[in-house]
Structures are given as C-alpha cells and as structure tokens.
Amino acid sequence: MNLPNRLSIFRICLVPLIVLIYLFPYAQFGIEVMEFEFSHVSLRLTNIIVLILFILASITDCLDGYIARKRQLITSFGKFIDPIADKMLVNTMLILFAASATVPVLPVIIMIWRDTIVDGLRMQASAKGKIVAAGFMGKVKTVLQMVTIVVILLNNLPFELARFPMGELLLWFSACISLISGVSYFMQLKDDITETM
C-alpha cells in the first residue's frame, strides 16, 4: 500500500477516537472536564482535543492527494478510499453536532442525503467499470465543511465574541454547496443511470 492510501486509512482510524473523546460520559466516571472562558464564551478541553485530531485528519486529506499527484501514485483504491475517509470524518462530526443539539438537524440531513445519493451514483458507475474521482465542487464542499466543523468546535470563536453566527451560516452554506455538487455528479453520470429506464 502506498503512502497516500496509508494516510487515508489513518484518517479513517482517527474517526472512532474522535467519537470516543466527544461522547465519553466523563461525568459518570467523576471526571471534570476543564473549560476555558473567553468573555461570555466557554470552550471545553474535549473540544480542543477533538479539534486537534480533526485538524490532523484534515491535513492528511490534503497530503494524500498532493503526494499521490506529485509522485504519480494515483490508484483505483486511492480514488475509492479517499472520498470514503472524507465522508466518514466529516459526516461523523456533523452527526455528533446534530445529536448534541449543537447545530440544526436539517442541513446535516441534507448533506448526508447528498452523500448517500452520490455514493449510489458511484456504485452504479463502478458496476460499469467506471471509477469516479472527487470533482472540483465535491472538493470545495469538503473543504468548506471542514472549516465549518473547526468553527463549531471552537464554539463559534472568535465570531461569537461579536455574537455573529458564523458557524451556523457556514453550515447552511455547506449544505447549499453539497446540493450543487450532488447535482454536478448526477449530471455527469445521468446517462449511466437513465439508460435502462
């Protein structure tokens, strides 16, 4: 297995660790989680730890693509595993936020629906021997979602100091870009889907 694919696998392995740290019932075990105060905004230590792991995972996303292109290590497995690693990381964070009522549920549902449909399109294309790599809009969507997640993990800092809901605005914008990129994938693969209608 080449280095870019190892980085993708590493990114996937970080996801369960992030879930454990985010959801662990600290109070039930008598563990008091430290909080940092910034004016009227508090930030839990667990959020900071998850943020560090999330940024580390996001960096591997940038690195694996860069290394694969520079060293000509692009493989069919890489085209397959990279978007899966991205979706596992990003969608897990979005679900955690929605489950804890940190963000509205609707934009999260929209983004997960989009990913489900795109995965179905990819499966249909794969059945015909066609491997569909992430398109430009799909990459924009992923980067935007990652920035959104960072802002939410920071409890909307520094924007919250001015009481500006940047995290929520970015979340809705991410949902819109997700829809646009989903339509782009559909238009790219519609002939494969509709040929037997």
Give 17-44 pLDDT, tens digit per residue. 999 999 999 999 999 999 999 888 899 9
Which residue pairs from 64-72 have beta carbons closer than 8 angstroms and sit at least 24 positions apart in sequence? 64/3, 64/4, 64/5, 64/7, 64/8, 64/11, 65/4, 67/3, 67/4, 67/7, 68/2, 68/4, 71/3
Q: Give the domain CATH number at 115.
A: 1.20.120.1760
- pTM for this model (two decimals): 0.88
Q: Domain total for the chain? A: 1
Q: What is the pLDDT of residue 127?
A: 67
Q: What is the pLDDT of residue 26?
A: 94
Range(s) of the domain holding residue 177 = 3-194
Q: What is the pLDDT of residue 141?
A: 87
Mean pLDDT of the chain: 88
Give 138-159 pLDDT, tens digit per residue. 778 888 999 999 999 999 999 9
